[in-house]
């Protein structure tokens, strides 16, 4: 009897692990297709978060999009007269549903873009250091006969576009932008960076994120040729960083009515930390490095003399390229020193013209941590618009992804600004201003005039020296930013009807002094001539 009970107890012990065996047996009964389906959903969730897809967010909000967050000074008359009337800045942005990810949007812009066809007319612009820029013009009416002059209407608005790091006039987002501006009836000129747009490097000077001398000379040249034409300037990505830095360096000494900075990195050092933080961001760093290495290879003959060519060849990331090339040519001891010198956020306090800044919080290249909210709120001339989604320079909208939201918002802002009383003050200042970097000699206005070009075997265009080429020369000396003090002016109440006469606008819009106090130079900023000299 006791023997049988012991046997039963031993059976219980031996069957104690049977639940695991039962679970294993039950698991073997589940079809393999169910496991594959489960694995698919797990991978899908991982990828959904990895690529920052927001389709479910858009779905749960009824595809209404997310509101645009604005930052401006409470007493800003630029906002009250211009920004307040811009409907798109006060609406919502909804990305195209089937590319509802900052990475999908950015990749779609790079590989497809749905950009309109543009027909540029090229003007080669010779700089005083021997460098050459390609100015690609898109007129408001390309269909007009005998349309080779640049431009024929000397009073029509001219929009100057400064592209991104390795972008030129043929980049998808640039073509979206210039096409929209030309349809508005404005002339557009894309100032391609040195060595881009199929133009050879003709000097020992390269562009970088803090290089503003080329912008200064292009703007002054165009203003000298068309002094009655209102000028707008638009910078994108690195071009936006250069533009903001230029506006801050010059202060009131800029012949432009208004400006815009789209997807500006603001602080290259923070962006460098960000782009090397996660796997997906490191991918962008490698892609940008590949583009820069391709750029360097085109100009190897020049760059190999000025930088570490072996290091450039080994570069795998954007920081590597900047270490072995950019910071050396820019005369910086370390790459972090170069990044700090290029920080455009330091110059916002001295921006004196109406400036619209647009950034996306999910920008995979320019981190939202660098967005200067407080600096933009301090300056009465700046309006900052930040969207939750949009990617880097993408902002595709609509089912077919045929348009970019930021292009439409920018076009509306510039149109309202040009039509506002505030622009009258800038126009009067522009008409009486003498560009400091332009020589008194008159430059040619036609594409057919100098400098003539020759095409090399590698397809690059090189400028040939000739007699008339001196018409595009500049004087070597560029005046530094002038810091002027003025008496504090008391703020006046804004009219109830929301309208200002030109005289009232003149009195109300100050020169960037946001709190009604005498302007003070709070810190010494890097001079624009510290680079590439």
Q: What domains can you pick out in the chain, each with its CATH number?
A: 66-267+343-478+506-518 (3.40.50.1820), 285-342 (no CATH)
112-116, 227-231, 236-240, 397-401: which has the minimum mean pLDDT?
112-116
Contact 379, 514 (CB under 8 A): yes
* CA–CA distance, 271 with 199 (Å, rounded to integer): 29
Distance from C-alpha of 234 to C-alpha of 264, rounded to nearest angstrom: 11
Tell me the three state secondary structure of residue 51: coil
CB of 213 closer than 8 Å to CB of 129: no
Q: Is the pLDDT of residue 69 over 50?
A: yes
Cis ω on the peptide bond leading into residue 242 (within 30° of 0)? no
Q: What was the pLDDT predicted at 18?
A: 79
Give the tokens for residue 28. 């073997």
Q: What is the pLDDT of residue 436?
A: 53
Q: Which of 343, 386, 385, 374 is nearest to 244 (CA)?
A: 343
Angle between helices 405-419 and 172-183 (to 10 degrees): 30
Cβ-proximal residues to 204 (8 Å cutoff; 6+ apart), any chain: 129, 302, 305, 306
Residues annotated catalytic, as ranges? 237, 363, 392
**Is the distance from CB of 256 to CB of 427 less than 8 angstroms?**
no
> What does the alpha-carbon distance between residue 204 and residue 331 come to, in Å, rounded to a whole number?
12
On the CB side of 262, CA atoms within 13 Å amount to 27
Measured CA angle at 361 (ends 358, 366), to 5 deg: 75
> What pTM does this model have?
0.79
Q: Are 233 and 289 in contact (CB under 8 A)?
A: no
Residue 231 pairs in a beta bridge with: 158
Band the pLDDT of 63: cuts 50, 70, 90: very high
DSSP 356: E
118-141 pLDDT, tens per residue? 899 999 999 999 999 999 999 887
State whether residue 254 is helix, strand or coil: coil
Distance from C-alpha of 128 to C-alpha of 533, rounded to nearest angstrom: 13
What average pLDDT score do residues 52-58 get? 96
* Sign of the dihedral defined by the CA atoms of residues 137, 143, 148, 150, in that order: negative
User: Which percentage of the chain shows pLDDT scores above 90?
Assistant: 67
Q: Write the pLDDT tens digit of every residue in 87-121.
A: 999 999 999 999 999 999 999 999 988 888 889 99
Q: Which residues contact 27 (CB under 8 A, 6 or more apart)?
A: none
Cβ(330)–Cβ(307) under 8 Å? no
Q: DSSP code of 400?
A: T
What's the burial of 56, exposed, middle or buried (CB within 10 Å: 0-12/13-18/19+)?
exposed
Residue of 208, 58, 215, 76 whose CA lies nearest to 133: 215
Stronger pLDDT, 116 or 68, i.e. the higher one: 68
Q: Is the pLDDT of residue 497 over 50?
A: no
Residue 211 has pLDDT above 70, yes or no: yes
Q: Taking 90 as the threshold, does the pLDDT of residue 396 lie above it?
A: yes
Q: Is the pLDDT at 501 greater than 60, yes or no?
A: no
Residue 533: the pLDDT is 37
Tokens of 103: 């990475």
CA–CA gap between residue 360 and residue 121 (Å, rounded):
33
Distance CA 321, CA 315 (A): 5
**Which pLDDT score is estimated for 439?**
41
Per-residue burial over 352-366, b = 16 or more CB atoms within 10 Å of its CB, e = otherwise: bbbbbbbbbebbbbb
Confidence of residue 495 (pLDDT cuts 50, 70, 90): very low
371: pLDDT strictly greater than 90:
yes
Q: What is the pLDDT of residue 423?
A: 74
Task: Tell me the pLDDT of the chain averaged across its residues.
Answer: 81
Q: Mean pLDDT, to the nearest integer, of 220-240?
A: 96
What is residue 325's DSSP assignment?
Answer: I
Tokens 């000397």 correspond to: 154
> Which is nearest to 329 in space by CA: 72, 531, 491, 120?
531
């Amino acid at each position: 009897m006791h023997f049988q009970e012991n046997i039963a107890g031993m059976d219980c012990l031996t069957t104690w692990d049977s639940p695991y065996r039962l679970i294993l047996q039950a698991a073997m009964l589940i079809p393999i297709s169910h496991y594959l389906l489960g694995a698919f959903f797990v991978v899908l969730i991982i990828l959904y978060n990895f690529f920052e897809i927001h389709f479910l967010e858009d779905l749960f909000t009824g595809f209404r999009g997310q509101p645009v967050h604005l930052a401006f000074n409470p007493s800003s008359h630029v906002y009250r007269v211009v920004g307040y009337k811009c409907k798109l800045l006060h609406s919502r942005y909804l990305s195209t549903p089937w590319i509802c990810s900052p990475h999908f949007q950015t990749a779609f812009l790079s590989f497809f873009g749905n950009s309109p066809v543009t027909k540029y007319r090229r003007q080669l612009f010779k700089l005083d250091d021997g460098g050459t820029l390609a100015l690609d013009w898109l007129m408001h009416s390309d269909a007009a006969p005998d349309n080779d002059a640049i431009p024929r209407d000397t009073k029509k608005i001219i929009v100057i576009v400064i592209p991104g790091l390795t972008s030129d006039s043929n980049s998808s987002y640039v073509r979206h932008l210039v096409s929209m501006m030309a349809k508005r009836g404005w002339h557009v000129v894309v100032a391609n960076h040195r060595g881009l747009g199929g133009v050879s490097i003709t000097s020992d000077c390269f562009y970088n994120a803090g290089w503003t001398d080329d912008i200064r000379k292009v703007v002054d040249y165009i203003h000298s040729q068309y002094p009655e034409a209102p000028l707008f300037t638009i910078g994108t990505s690195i071009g936006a960083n250069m533009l903001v830095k230029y506006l801050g360096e010059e202060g009131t000494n800029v012949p432009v009515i208004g400006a815009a900075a789209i997807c500006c990195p603001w602080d290259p050092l923070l962006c460098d930390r960000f782009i090397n933080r996660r796997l997906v961001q490191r991918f962008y760093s490698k892609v940008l490095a590949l583009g820069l290495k391709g750029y360097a290879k085109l100009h190897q003959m020049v760059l190999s003399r000025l930088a570490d060519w072996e290091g450039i060849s080994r570069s795998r990331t954007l920081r590597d390229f900047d270490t072995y090339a950019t910071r050396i040519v820019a005369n910086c001891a370390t790459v972090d020193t170069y990044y700090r010198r290029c920080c455009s956020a330091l110059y916002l306090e001295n921006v004196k013209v109406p400036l619209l800044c647009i950034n996306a919080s999910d920008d995979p290249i320019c981190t939202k941590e660098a967005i200067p909210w407080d600096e933009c709120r301090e300056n009465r001339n700046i309006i900052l618009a930040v969207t939750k989604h949009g990617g880097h320079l993408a902002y595709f909208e609509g089912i077919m992804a045929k348009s970019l939201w930021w292009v439409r918002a920018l076009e509306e802002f510039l149109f309202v600004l040009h039509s506002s009383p505030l622009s009258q003050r800038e126009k009067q200042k522009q008409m009486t201003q003498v560009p400091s970097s332009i020589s008194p000699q008159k430059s040619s206005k036609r594409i057919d005039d100098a400098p003539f070009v020759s095409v090399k075997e590698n397809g690059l265009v090189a400028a040939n020296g000739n007699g008339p080429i001196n018409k595009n020369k500049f004087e070597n000396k560029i005046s530094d930013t002038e810091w002027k003090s003025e008496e504090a002016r008391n703020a006046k109440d804004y009219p109830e009807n929301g309208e200002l006469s030109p005289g009232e606008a003149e009195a109300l819009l100050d020169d960037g002094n946001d709190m009604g106090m005498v302007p003070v130079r709070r810190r010494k900023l890097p001079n624009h001539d510290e680079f590439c000299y």
